[in-house]
Amino acid sequence: MVAKKNLCVLILAAGKGTRMKSPLPKPLHPVCGLPIIAHILKAAQALNPAAIGLVVGHEAQKMEETVKAGLSSWGVTAPLVFVEQKDLSGSGSAVKAALPLLKRFDDVMVLNGDTPLLETATLDNMYSSFQDNEAGAVVLAVSVPDPCGYGRVVRAKDGSFEKIVEHCDADAQTLLIREINSGMYVFKRSFLEEALLALKPQGPKHEYYLTDTLAFIKSQKHPVLVYGSQDYEQALGVNSKFQLSQAELIMRRRVTRRLMDEGVTIPNPQAVFVDAEAQIGADTFICPGCYICGKTVIGKNCMLEGNVYIKDSVIGDNVTLKMGTYIEESTVEEQCQLGPYAHLRPLSVLKKGAKVGNFSEIKKSVIGEGSKVNHLSYIGDTDMGAGVNVGAGTITCNYDGKNKHKTVIGNHVFVGSNVNFVAPVTVESYSKIGAGSTITKLVPQDSLAIARSRQVVLEKKGIKHD
Ligand code: UD1
Ligand code: MG
Protein backbone atom coordinates (compact mmCIF):
# COMPACT_ATOMS: atom_id res chain seq x y z
CA MET A 1 0.00 0.00 0.00
CA VAL A 2 1.33 3.47 -0.85
CA ALA A 3 2.97 5.32 2.03
CA LYS A 4 0.68 7.83 3.77
CA LYS A 5 3.20 10.51 4.66
CA ASN A 6 0.76 12.85 6.37
CA LEU A 7 -1.07 10.26 8.43
CA CYS A 8 -0.57 9.18 12.03
CA VAL A 9 -2.75 6.32 13.31
CA LEU A 10 -3.56 6.75 16.98
CA ILE A 11 -4.84 3.73 18.91
CA LEU A 12 -6.62 4.31 22.21
CA ALA A 13 -5.80 1.56 24.67
CA ALA A 14 -5.56 3.24 28.05
CA GLY A 15 -9.01 2.40 29.41
CA LYS A 16 -9.61 0.19 32.43
CA GLY A 17 -11.77 -2.33 30.59
CA THR A 18 -13.84 -2.72 33.75
CA ARG A 19 -16.54 -4.77 32.03
CA MET A 20 -14.02 -7.53 31.23
CA LYS A 21 -13.78 -8.26 34.99
CA SER A 22 -10.17 -9.31 34.57
CA PRO A 23 -6.77 -8.12 35.84
CA LEU A 24 -5.39 -8.57 32.31
CA PRO A 25 -5.63 -5.27 30.39
CA LYS A 26 -8.42 -5.52 27.80
CA PRO A 27 -6.22 -5.01 24.71
CA LEU A 28 -4.09 -7.99 25.76
CA HIS A 29 -6.93 -10.52 25.79
CA PRO A 30 -6.40 -12.94 22.91
CA VAL A 31 -8.58 -13.42 19.84
CA CYS A 32 -7.51 -16.42 17.74
CA GLY A 33 -4.18 -16.56 19.54
CA LEU A 34 -3.15 -12.90 19.20
CA PRO A 35 -3.83 -10.06 21.65
CA ILE A 36 -6.61 -7.73 20.51
CA ILE A 37 -4.06 -4.93 20.23
CA ALA A 38 -1.92 -7.02 17.85
CA HIS A 39 -4.81 -7.36 15.39
CA ILE A 40 -5.29 -3.59 15.46
CA LEU A 41 -1.58 -2.83 15.11
CA LYS A 42 -1.30 -5.23 12.16
CA ALA A 43 -4.25 -3.58 10.38
CA ALA A 44 -2.77 -0.13 11.09
CA GLN A 45 0.68 -1.16 9.88
CA ALA A 46 -0.74 -2.48 6.60
CA LEU A 47 -2.14 1.00 5.87
CA ASN A 48 1.46 2.21 5.68
CA PRO A 49 1.09 5.34 7.85
CA ALA A 50 4.00 7.63 8.74
CA ALA A 51 3.69 6.66 12.42
CA ILE A 52 1.51 4.83 14.91
CA GLY A 53 0.74 6.22 18.37
CA LEU A 54 -0.49 3.94 21.14
CA VAL A 55 -2.17 5.56 24.14
CA VAL A 56 -1.65 3.50 27.29
CA GLY A 57 -2.74 4.23 30.86
CA HIS A 58 -4.23 1.35 32.84
CA GLU A 59 -1.36 -1.15 33.38
CA ALA A 60 0.74 1.07 31.08
CA GLN A 61 4.00 -0.72 31.79
CA LYS A 62 2.62 -4.19 31.12
CA MET A 63 0.99 -2.94 27.93
CA GLU A 64 4.20 -1.36 26.70
CA GLU A 65 6.34 -4.39 27.53
CA THR A 66 3.96 -6.85 25.88
CA VAL A 67 3.52 -4.76 22.75
CA LYS A 68 7.26 -4.10 22.38
CA ALA A 69 7.97 -7.83 22.73
CA GLY A 70 5.41 -8.71 20.03
CA LEU A 71 6.11 -6.00 17.44
CA SER A 72 8.55 -7.86 15.20
CA SER A 73 6.51 -11.06 15.17
CA TRP A 74 3.41 -9.05 14.24
CA GLY A 75 5.32 -7.35 11.41
CA VAL A 76 4.89 -3.84 12.81
CA THR A 77 7.71 -1.74 11.41
CA ALA A 78 6.19 1.78 11.34
CA PRO A 79 7.62 4.04 14.04
CA LEU A 80 5.53 3.33 17.16
CA VAL A 81 5.26 5.96 19.88
CA PHE A 82 3.77 5.14 23.28
CA VAL A 83 1.80 7.96 24.88
CA GLU A 84 0.81 7.78 28.52
CA GLN A 85 -2.64 9.04 29.49
CA LYS A 86 -2.40 9.89 33.19
CA ASP A 87 -6.07 10.74 33.92
CA LEU A 88 -8.30 8.02 32.55
CA SER A 89 -11.20 10.38 31.94
CA GLY A 90 -12.43 9.22 28.57
CA SER A 91 -11.51 8.74 24.92
CA GLY A 92 -11.31 12.52 24.42
CA SER A 93 -8.64 12.82 27.14
CA ALA A 94 -6.78 9.90 25.57
CA VAL A 95 -6.42 11.76 22.27
CA LYS A 96 -5.58 14.99 24.11
CA ALA A 97 -2.65 13.24 25.78
CA ALA A 98 -1.29 12.45 22.32
CA LEU A 99 -1.45 16.00 20.92
CA PRO A 100 2.33 16.62 21.23
CA LEU A 101 2.89 13.55 18.99
CA LEU A 102 0.10 14.47 16.56
CA LYS A 103 1.49 17.99 15.94
CA ARG A 104 3.82 16.62 13.25
CA PHE A 105 0.97 15.29 11.08
CA ASP A 106 -1.83 16.79 8.99
CA ASP A 107 -4.21 13.85 9.33
CA VAL A 108 -5.00 11.58 12.28
CA MET A 109 -6.82 8.27 12.16
CA VAL A 110 -8.10 7.32 15.61
CA LEU A 111 -8.92 3.68 16.38
CA ASN A 112 -10.32 2.22 19.56
CA GLY A 113 -8.06 -0.42 21.08
CA ASP A 114 -10.90 -2.95 21.42
CA THR A 115 -12.01 -3.65 17.82
CA PRO A 116 -9.93 -6.66 16.67
CA LEU A 117 -12.02 -7.40 13.58
CA LEU A 118 -11.30 -4.18 11.71
CA GLU A 119 -9.73 -4.63 8.27
CA THR A 120 -7.12 -2.55 6.51
CA ALA A 121 -9.16 -2.21 3.29
CA THR A 122 -12.01 -0.59 5.25
CA LEU A 123 -9.64 1.84 6.95
CA ASP A 124 -8.02 2.63 3.63
CA ASN A 125 -11.38 3.33 1.99
CA MET A 126 -12.39 5.54 4.91
CA TYR A 127 -9.15 7.51 4.53
CA SER A 128 -9.69 7.86 0.74
CA SER A 129 -13.21 9.15 1.35
CA PHE A 130 -11.77 11.66 3.86
CA GLN A 131 -9.23 12.88 1.29
CA ASP A 132 -11.50 12.85 -1.75
CA ASN A 133 -14.16 14.88 0.04
CA GLU A 134 -11.71 17.21 1.75
CA ALA A 135 -13.54 16.46 4.97
CA GLY A 136 -12.78 17.89 8.39
CA ALA A 137 -13.56 14.51 9.91
CA VAL A 138 -14.97 11.12 8.93
CA VAL A 139 -16.51 8.54 11.23
CA LEU A 140 -16.95 4.90 10.28
CA ALA A 141 -20.51 3.86 11.06
CA VAL A 142 -22.38 0.58 10.64
CA SER A 143 -25.95 -0.54 11.19
CA VAL A 144 -26.10 -3.40 13.65
CA PRO A 145 -28.93 -5.74 14.69
CA ASP A 146 -28.25 -5.01 18.37
CA PRO A 147 -26.89 -1.48 18.97
CA CYS A 148 -26.97 -1.84 22.76
CA GLY A 149 -23.96 -0.17 24.41
CA TYR A 150 -22.70 1.68 21.33
CA GLY A 151 -22.79 5.41 20.57
CA ARG A 152 -25.61 6.17 18.11
CA VAL A 153 -25.03 8.23 14.95
CA VAL A 154 -27.72 10.91 14.85
CA ARG A 155 -28.32 12.35 11.40
CA ALA A 156 -29.90 15.70 10.46
CA LYS A 157 -33.10 15.82 8.39
CA ASP A 158 -31.06 16.02 5.16
CA GLY A 159 -29.25 12.82 6.15
CA SER A 160 -25.96 14.53 7.00
CA PHE A 161 -24.08 13.88 10.23
CA GLU A 162 -25.38 15.72 13.27
CA LYS A 163 -23.87 14.19 16.40
CA ILE A 164 -23.05 11.01 18.27
CA VAL A 165 -24.99 10.20 21.42
CA GLU A 166 -23.58 7.63 23.81
CA HIS A 167 -25.89 4.80 24.85
CA CYS A 168 -25.91 5.87 28.48
CA ASP A 169 -26.98 9.43 27.54
CA ALA A 170 -29.56 8.52 24.89
CA ASP A 171 -33.31 9.11 25.17
CA ALA A 172 -35.83 6.45 24.12
CA GLN A 173 -36.03 7.82 20.56
CA THR A 174 -32.25 7.81 20.07
CA LEU A 175 -31.95 4.31 21.50
CA LEU A 176 -34.00 3.07 18.53
CA ILE A 177 -31.24 4.14 16.09
CA ARG A 178 -29.32 1.13 14.84
CA GLU A 179 -26.53 3.05 13.10
CA ILE A 180 -23.61 3.08 15.51
CA ASN A 181 -20.21 4.69 15.85
CA SER A 182 -17.51 2.07 15.21
CA GLY A 183 -14.87 4.01 17.16
CA MET A 184 -12.81 4.55 13.98
CA TYR A 185 -12.34 8.07 12.66
CA VAL A 186 -10.12 10.28 10.52
CA PHE A 187 -9.58 13.94 11.49
CA LYS A 188 -7.80 16.97 10.13
CA ARG A 189 -5.38 17.35 12.99
CA SER A 190 -5.80 21.09 13.38
CA PHE A 191 -9.60 20.77 13.66
CA LEU A 192 -9.30 17.89 16.09
CA GLU A 193 -6.94 19.88 18.29
CA GLU A 194 -9.33 22.80 18.46
CA ALA A 195 -12.29 20.52 19.20
CA LEU A 196 -10.45 18.67 21.97
CA LEU A 197 -9.67 21.90 23.77
CA ALA A 198 -13.40 22.75 23.72
CA LEU A 199 -14.56 19.39 25.19
CA LYS A 200 -16.69 19.38 28.34
CA PRO A 201 -17.13 16.38 30.62
CA GLN A 202 -20.28 14.38 29.89
CA GLY A 203 -22.39 11.50 31.11
CA PRO A 204 -22.66 9.72 34.45
CA LYS A 205 -18.87 9.37 34.75
CA HIS A 206 -18.01 12.95 33.71
CA GLU A 207 -15.86 11.74 30.85
CA TYR A 208 -14.44 13.67 27.92
CA TYR A 209 -15.98 11.97 24.88
CA LEU A 210 -13.93 11.93 21.69
CA THR A 211 -17.26 11.55 19.92
CA ASP A 212 -18.23 15.11 20.87
CA THR A 213 -15.40 16.51 18.74
CA LEU A 214 -17.31 15.58 15.58
CA ALA A 215 -20.31 17.80 16.37
CA PHE A 216 -17.88 20.58 17.31
CA ILE A 217 -16.00 20.30 14.00
CA LYS A 218 -19.32 20.41 12.19
CA SER A 219 -20.33 23.51 14.19
CA GLN A 220 -17.18 25.17 12.85
CA LYS A 221 -18.58 24.63 9.33
CA HIS A 222 -16.13 21.92 8.36
CA PRO A 223 -17.64 18.91 6.58
CA VAL A 224 -18.08 15.84 8.80
CA LEU A 225 -18.86 12.67 6.88
CA VAL A 226 -20.32 9.34 7.89
CA TYR A 227 -18.46 6.59 6.08
CA GLY A 228 -20.80 3.60 6.06
CA SER A 229 -19.73 -0.01 5.86
CA GLN A 230 -22.02 -2.98 5.18
CA ASP A 231 -19.77 -5.33 7.14
CA TYR A 232 -20.89 -4.51 10.64
CA GLU A 233 -18.87 -7.33 12.17
CA GLN A 234 -15.71 -5.26 11.66
CA ALA A 235 -17.00 -2.73 14.17
CA LEU A 236 -17.51 -5.19 17.01
CA GLY A 237 -16.08 -3.59 20.15
CA VAL A 238 -14.91 -5.98 22.83
CA ASN A 239 -16.07 -4.68 26.19
CA SER A 240 -17.07 -7.94 27.88
CA LYS A 241 -16.16 -11.62 27.85
CA PHE A 242 -19.30 -12.28 25.80
CA GLN A 243 -18.16 -9.83 23.12
CA LEU A 244 -14.70 -11.42 23.30
CA SER A 245 -16.29 -14.77 22.43
CA GLN A 246 -18.21 -13.16 19.56
CA ALA A 247 -14.98 -11.70 18.17
CA GLU A 248 -13.30 -15.09 18.50
CA LEU A 249 -16.12 -16.84 16.60
CA ILE A 250 -16.08 -14.34 13.74
CA MET A 251 -12.28 -14.32 13.47
CA ARG A 252 -12.18 -18.12 13.57
CA ARG A 253 -14.75 -18.26 10.77
CA ARG A 254 -12.57 -15.88 8.71
CA VAL A 255 -9.44 -17.99 9.35
CA THR A 256 -11.04 -21.31 8.36
CA ARG A 257 -12.60 -19.62 5.32
CA ARG A 258 -9.17 -18.36 4.20
CA LEU A 259 -7.67 -21.82 4.70
CA MET A 260 -10.43 -23.53 2.73
CA ASP A 261 -9.94 -20.97 -0.05
CA GLU A 262 -6.28 -22.02 -0.03
CA GLY A 263 -7.27 -25.67 -0.49
CA VAL A 264 -7.32 -27.04 3.05
CA THR A 265 -10.10 -29.57 3.70
CA ILE A 266 -12.15 -28.84 6.81
CA PRO A 267 -15.41 -30.81 6.79
CA ASN A 268 -16.70 -29.14 9.96
CA PRO A 269 -15.14 -25.67 10.29
CA GLN A 270 -17.21 -24.79 13.36
CA ALA A 271 -15.46 -27.57 15.25
CA VAL A 272 -11.81 -26.67 14.66
CA PHE A 273 -9.79 -23.94 16.35
CA VAL A 274 -7.13 -22.41 14.16
CA ASP A 275 -5.22 -19.33 15.28
CA ALA A 276 -4.87 -16.30 13.02
CA GLU A 277 -1.19 -16.83 12.23
CA ALA A 278 -1.32 -20.53 11.31
CA GLN A 279 -0.40 -21.60 7.77
CA ILE A 280 -1.63 -24.88 6.32
CA GLY A 281 -0.95 -26.49 2.95
CA ALA A 282 -3.53 -27.61 0.38
CA ASP A 283 -5.35 -30.90 0.83
CA THR A 284 -4.43 -31.21 4.45
CA PHE A 285 -7.51 -32.70 6.11
CA ILE A 286 -8.52 -31.36 9.51
CA CYS A 287 -11.05 -33.34 11.52
CA PRO A 288 -13.17 -31.90 14.36
CA GLY A 289 -11.66 -31.04 17.71
CA CYS A 290 -8.25 -29.96 16.39
CA TYR A 291 -6.44 -26.94 17.86
CA ILE A 292 -3.78 -25.35 15.67
CA CYS A 293 -2.24 -22.64 17.79
CA GLY A 294 0.30 -19.84 17.54
CA LYS A 295 2.68 -19.63 14.61
CA THR A 296 2.19 -23.22 13.47
CA VAL A 297 3.02 -24.18 9.89
CA ILE A 298 1.58 -27.42 8.46
CA GLY A 299 2.49 -28.79 5.04
CA LYS A 300 0.39 -30.25 2.25
CA ASN A 301 -1.58 -33.47 2.27
CA CYS A 302 -1.44 -34.10 5.98
CA MET A 303 -4.16 -35.92 7.90
CA LEU A 304 -5.13 -34.54 11.29
CA GLU A 305 -7.51 -36.98 12.90
CA GLY A 306 -9.69 -35.55 15.67
CA ASN A 307 -8.51 -33.85 18.85
CA VAL A 308 -5.02 -33.03 17.68
CA TYR A 309 -3.35 -30.10 19.49
CA ILE A 310 -0.40 -28.32 17.83
CA LYS A 311 1.28 -25.17 19.14
CA ASP A 312 4.10 -23.13 17.56
CA SER A 313 5.36 -26.09 15.52
CA VAL A 314 6.37 -26.93 11.98
CA ILE A 315 4.85 -30.01 10.34
CA GLY A 316 6.06 -31.18 6.92
CA ASP A 317 4.07 -32.61 3.98
CA ASN A 318 2.23 -35.95 4.07
CA VAL A 319 2.29 -36.28 7.84
CA THR A 320 -0.38 -38.29 9.64
CA LEU A 321 -1.36 -37.14 13.09
CA LYS A 322 -3.68 -39.70 14.60
CA MET A 323 -6.34 -39.01 17.19
CA GLY A 324 -5.21 -37.24 20.36
CA THR A 325 -1.70 -36.22 19.30
CA TYR A 326 -0.24 -33.25 21.24
CA ILE A 327 2.69 -31.28 19.79
CA GLU A 328 4.38 -28.20 21.29
CA GLU A 329 7.25 -26.14 19.82
CA SER A 330 8.54 -29.03 17.75
CA THR A 331 9.43 -29.94 14.17
CA VAL A 332 7.95 -32.92 12.37
CA GLU A 333 9.41 -33.61 8.94
CA GLU A 334 7.58 -35.03 5.94
CA GLN A 335 5.93 -38.45 6.00
CA CYS A 336 6.06 -38.87 9.76
CA GLN A 337 3.27 -40.59 11.63
CA LEU A 338 2.25 -39.78 15.18
CA GLY A 339 -0.29 -41.17 17.60
CA PRO A 340 -2.83 -42.12 18.53
CA TYR A 341 -2.05 -40.25 21.77
CA ALA A 342 1.56 -39.24 21.14
CA HIS A 343 3.12 -36.25 22.92
CA LEU A 344 5.96 -34.12 21.53
CA ARG A 345 7.22 -31.69 24.15
CA PRO A 346 9.24 -28.58 23.21
CA LEU A 347 12.35 -28.79 21.04
CA SER A 348 11.67 -32.22 19.63
CA VAL A 349 12.55 -33.01 16.02
CA LEU A 350 11.17 -35.96 14.09
CA LYS A 351 13.18 -36.57 10.94
CA LYS A 352 11.57 -37.74 7.71
CA GLY A 353 9.33 -40.78 8.04
CA ALA A 354 9.79 -41.26 11.78
CA LYS A 355 6.96 -42.76 13.84
CA VAL A 356 5.96 -41.99 17.39
CA GLY A 357 3.01 -44.02 18.52
CA ASN A 358 0.61 -44.88 21.28
CA PHE A 359 1.29 -43.10 24.59
CA SER A 360 4.89 -42.21 23.78
CA GLU A 361 6.38 -38.93 25.02
CA ILE A 362 9.35 -37.21 23.37
CA LYS A 363 11.15 -34.22 24.93
CA LYS A 364 14.00 -32.15 23.49
CA SER A 365 15.14 -35.04 21.33
CA VAL A 366 15.90 -35.86 17.74
CA ILE A 367 14.27 -39.00 16.38
CA GLY A 368 16.22 -39.92 13.23
CA GLU A 369 14.90 -40.65 9.76
CA GLY A 370 12.56 -43.64 9.70
CA SER A 371 13.10 -44.42 13.39
CA LYS A 372 10.17 -45.76 15.40
CA VAL A 373 9.10 -45.18 18.99
CA ASN A 374 5.76 -46.82 18.69
CA HIS A 375 4.55 -47.77 22.14
CA LEU A 376 4.56 -46.47 25.72
CA SER A 377 8.02 -44.85 25.77
CA TYR A 378 9.67 -41.76 27.24
CA ILE A 379 12.55 -40.35 25.19
CA GLY A 380 14.10 -37.19 26.67
CA ASP A 381 17.31 -35.26 25.86
CA THR A 382 18.19 -37.88 23.26
CA ASP A 383 19.96 -37.81 19.90
CA MET A 384 18.68 -40.80 17.97
CA GLY A 385 19.99 -41.76 14.55
CA ALA A 386 18.16 -43.17 11.54
CA GLY A 387 16.44 -46.55 11.28
CA VAL A 388 16.27 -47.17 15.03
CA ASN A 389 13.55 -49.41 16.42
CA VAL A 390 12.64 -48.64 20.00
CA GLY A 391 10.70 -51.40 21.73
CA ALA A 392 7.62 -50.84 23.85
CA GLY A 393 8.14 -49.33 27.27
CA THR A 394 11.63 -47.94 26.68
CA ILE A 395 12.62 -45.13 29.03
CA THR A 396 15.51 -42.69 28.97
CA CYS A 397 16.39 -41.96 32.59
CA ASN A 398 17.60 -38.43 31.86
CA TYR A 399 17.28 -36.80 35.28
CA ASP A 400 19.42 -37.58 38.30
CA GLY A 401 17.47 -35.33 40.66
CA LYS A 402 19.68 -32.32 39.89
CA ASN A 403 20.67 -32.31 36.24
CA LYS A 404 19.45 -33.55 32.88
CA HIS A 405 21.75 -35.85 30.89
CA LYS A 406 21.91 -36.94 27.27
CA THR A 407 21.34 -40.29 25.66
CA VAL A 408 22.95 -40.85 22.25
CA ILE A 409 21.70 -43.69 20.08
CA GLY A 410 23.41 -44.33 16.71
CA ASN A 411 21.89 -45.48 13.42
CA HIS A 412 20.02 -48.77 13.02
CA VAL A 413 20.09 -49.68 16.69
CA PHE A 414 17.53 -52.25 17.80
CA VAL A 415 16.20 -51.61 21.30
CA GLY A 416 14.21 -54.48 22.83
CA SER A 417 11.17 -53.82 24.94
CA ASN A 418 11.25 -52.32 28.40
CA VAL A 419 14.80 -50.97 28.27
CA ASN A 420 16.11 -48.20 30.56
CA PHE A 421 18.91 -45.94 29.32
CA VAL A 422 20.54 -44.35 32.36
CA ALA A 423 21.94 -41.09 30.94
CA PRO A 424 24.55 -39.96 30.15
CA VAL A 425 24.99 -42.97 27.95
CA THR A 426 25.84 -43.79 24.33
CA VAL A 427 24.72 -46.70 22.19
CA GLU A 428 26.67 -46.92 18.96
CA SER A 429 25.25 -47.76 15.54
CA TYR A 430 24.04 -51.26 14.58
CA SER A 431 24.05 -52.53 18.16
CA LYS A 432 21.20 -54.40 19.80
CA ILE A 433 19.86 -54.10 23.34
CA GLY A 434 18.18 -57.09 24.94
CA ALA A 435 14.67 -56.63 26.30
CA GLY A 436 14.45 -55.54 29.92
CA SER A 437 18.02 -54.21 30.05
CA THR A 438 19.12 -51.26 32.15
CA ILE A 439 21.97 -49.70 30.14
CA THR A 440 24.41 -47.61 32.18
CA LYS A 441 27.56 -47.61 30.04
CA LEU A 442 28.74 -47.41 26.44
CA VAL A 443 27.40 -50.03 24.04
CA PRO A 444 30.00 -50.22 21.23
CA GLN A 445 29.14 -50.43 17.54
CA ASP A 446 27.52 -53.60 16.23
CA SER A 447 27.41 -55.32 19.62
CA LEU A 448 24.68 -56.93 21.70
CA ALA A 449 24.13 -55.63 25.24
CA ILE A 450 22.03 -57.47 27.79
CA ALA A 451 21.84 -56.03 31.27
CA ARG A 452 19.27 -57.96 33.25
CA SER A 453 19.38 -60.68 35.87
CA ARG A 454 19.14 -64.23 34.69
CA GLN A 455 15.81 -65.96 34.97
CA VAL A 456 15.44 -68.26 37.91
CA VAL A 457 12.88 -71.06 37.79
CA LEU A 458 11.94 -72.64 41.09
CA GLU A 459 10.64 -76.18 40.69
CA LYS A 460 9.13 -78.37 43.32
CA LYS A 461 12.25 -80.56 43.53
CA GLY A 462 14.72 -77.69 44.00
CA ILE A 463 16.33 -74.78 42.15
CA LYS A 464 17.09 -75.09 38.48
CA HIS A 465 19.17 -72.42 36.61
CA ASP A 466 18.63 -71.79 32.88
C1 UD1 B 1 -16.78 3.91 22.45
C2 UD1 B 1 -17.45 5.16 21.85
C3 UD1 B 1 -18.79 4.73 21.27
C4 UD1 B 1 -18.59 3.67 20.22
C5 UD1 B 1 -17.80 2.48 20.77
C6 UD1 B 1 -17.40 1.57 19.63
C7 UD1 B 1 -16.68 7.04 23.17
C8 UD1 B 1 -17.05 8.08 24.15
N9 UD1 B 1 -17.62 6.15 22.87
O10 UD1 B 1 -17.59 3.44 23.50
O11 UD1 B 1 -19.44 5.87 20.68
O12 UD1 B 1 -19.84 3.23 19.70
O13 UD1 B 1 -16.60 2.92 21.42
O14 UD1 B 1 -16.79 0.42 20.12
O15 UD1 B 1 -15.58 7.09 22.67
N16 UD1 B 1 -9.89 4.67 26.34
C17 UD1 B 1 -8.73 5.33 26.66
N18 UD1 B 1 -8.75 6.20 27.72
C19 UD1 B 1 -9.87 6.42 28.45
C20 UD1 B 1 -11.06 5.75 28.11
C21 UD1 B 1 -11.04 4.87 27.04
O22 UD1 B 1 -7.69 5.15 26.04
O23 UD1 B 1 -9.81 7.22 29.39
C24 UD1 B 1 -9.85 3.72 25.21
C25 UD1 B 1 -10.22 2.32 25.64
O26 UD1 B 1 -9.06 1.61 26.06
C27 UD1 B 1 -10.89 1.75 24.39
C28 UD1 B 1 -11.42 2.98 23.68
O29 UD1 B 1 -10.82 4.11 24.26
O30 UD1 B 1 -9.97 1.11 23.55
C31 UD1 B 1 -12.93 3.10 23.81
O32 UD1 B 1 -13.28 3.02 25.17
P33 UD1 B 1 -14.47 2.11 25.67
O34 UD1 B 1 -14.59 2.25 27.13
O35 UD1 B 1 -14.36 0.74 25.11
O36 UD1 B 1 -15.69 2.89 24.98
P37 UD1 B 1 -17.10 2.31 24.57
O38 UD1 B 1 -18.02 2.41 25.72
O39 UD1 B 1 -16.96 1.01 23.92
MG1 MG C 1 -15.41 -0.32 23.72
398-409 mean pLDDT: 97
Residue 10, ligand 1, Cβ within 6 A: no
Q: Are 321 and 304 in contact (CB under 8 A)?
A: yes
- What are the helix (H) ranges across 156-222? 172-175, 189-197, 212-219
For residue 245, tell me if it sits in a domain.
no
Cα angle value 145/150/199 (rounded, 5°):
155
φ and ψ at residue 50, rounded to 5 degrees = -70, -30
Measured from the Cα of 180, ligand 1's closest atom is 12
pLDDT at 466: 59
What is the DSSP-derived secondary structure letter of residue 253? H
Q: What is the pLDDT of residues 360-397, one digit of tens each?
A: 999 999 999 999 999 999 999 999 999 999 999 999 99
* 199 and 273 belong to one structural domain: no
Q: Look up the CATH number of the domain holding residue 442.
A: 2.160.10.10
Task: Please tell me the distance from the alpha carbon of residue 141 to that of residue 146, in angstroms, as a whole number.
Answer: 14
Residue 9's DSSP bridge partners are: 52, 109
Identity of the residue numbered 24? L
Average pLDDT score over the chain: 97
For the chain, the C-alpha Rg in angstroms (whole number) is 30
Residue 8's DSSP bridge partners are: 51, 108
Show which of 235, 252, 280 is a domain's final residue: 235
Q: Are 256 and 269 in contact (CB under 8 A)?
A: yes
User: How far, in Å, from the CA of 259 to the mean position of ligand 1?
Assistant: 33
For residue 283, tell me if it sits in a domain.
yes
* 201 and 328 belong to one structural domain: no
Residue 234, ligand 1, Cβ within 6 A: no
Q: How many structural domains compose the chain?
A: 2
For residue 27, tell me if it sits in a domain.
yes
pLDDT at 203: 86
Residue 239, ligand 1, Cβ within 6 A: yes
Residue 114, ligand 1, Cβ within 6 A: yes
pLDDT at 237: 97
Task: Please tell me the distance from the alpha carbon of residue 115 to that of residue 134, in angstroms, as a whole number.
Answer: 26
User: Residue 465 above 70 pLDDT?
Assistant: no
* 225 and 315 belong to one structural domain: no
* 192 and 69 belong to one structural domain: yes
Residue 342's domain spans which residues? 264-458
Q: 348 in helix, strand or coil? A: coil
395-403 mean pLDDT: 97
Task: Please tell me the distance from the alpha carbon of residue 410 to that of residue 426, in angstroms, as a whole number.
Answer: 8
User: How far, in Å, from the CA of 91 to the mean position of ligand 1?
Assistant: 6
Measured from the Cα of 166, ligand 1's closest atom is 11
Task: For a ligand 1 pocket test, name from 10, 91, 179, 233 the mutation site with the most ligand atoms within 8 angstroms of its C-beta.
Answer: 91
Q: Are strands 30-31 and 34-35 parallel, antiparallel or unpaired?
A: antiparallel
Measured from the Cα of 210, ligand 1's closest atom is 15
Q: What is the pLDDT of residues 120-149, one digit of tens each?
A: 999 999 999 999 999 999 999 999 999 999
For residue 242, tell me if it sits in a domain.
no
User: How far, in Å, from the CA of 25 to the mean position of ligand 1?
Assistant: 14
User: Residue 188 above 60 pLDDT?
Assistant: yes
φ and ψ at residue 49, rounded to 5 degrees = -80, 170
User: Residue 299 above 80 pLDDT?
Assistant: yes
For residue 247, tell me if it sits in a domain.
no
H/E element, 40: helix 36-46
Q: Look up the CATH number of the domain holding residue 127.
A: 3.90.550.10
Of 58, 167, 375, 405, the active-site residue reads: 375
For residue 83, tell me if it sits in a domain.
yes
* Atom 28 in ligand 1: residue holding the nearest Cα: 112
Query: Count of H helices and E strands in the chain?
Result: 9, 42
For residue 140, tell me if it sits in a domain.
yes
Percentage of the chain surpassing pLDDT 90? 97
Residue 237, ligand 1, Cβ within 6 A: yes
Nearest ligand atom owner, CA of 90 = 1
CA atoms within 13 A on the CB side of 127: 25
Order across the sheet with 355-356: list the strands.
285-286, 303-304, 320-321, 337-338, 355-356, 372-373, 389-390, 414-415, 432-433, 448-449
Peptide bond into 424 cis (omega under 30): yes
User: Residue 462 above 70 pLDDT?
Assistant: no
Residue 213, ligand 1, Cβ within 6 A: no
* 11 and 62 belong to one structural domain: yes
Task: Please tell me the distance from the alpha carbon of residue 159 to that of residue 137, in angstroms, as a whole number.
Answer: 16
Residue 93, ligand 1, Cβ within 6 A: yes
* 315 and 412 belong to one structural domain: yes
Task: Please tell me the distance from the alpha carbon of residue 200 to that of residue 413, in angstroms, as a whole number.
Answer: 79
* 227 and 272 belong to one structural domain: no
Task: Please tell me the distance from the alpha carbon of residue 184 to that of residue 166, in angstroms, as a whole number.
Answer: 15
Instruction: Establish whether 167 is a catalytic residue.
Output: no
297-302 mean pLDDT: 98
pTM attached to this predicted model: 0.94
Task: Please tell me the distance from the alpha carbon of residue 189 to that of residue 8, in angstroms, as a whole number.
Answer: 10
Ion ligand 2 residue ranges (Cβ < 5 Å): 114, 237, 239
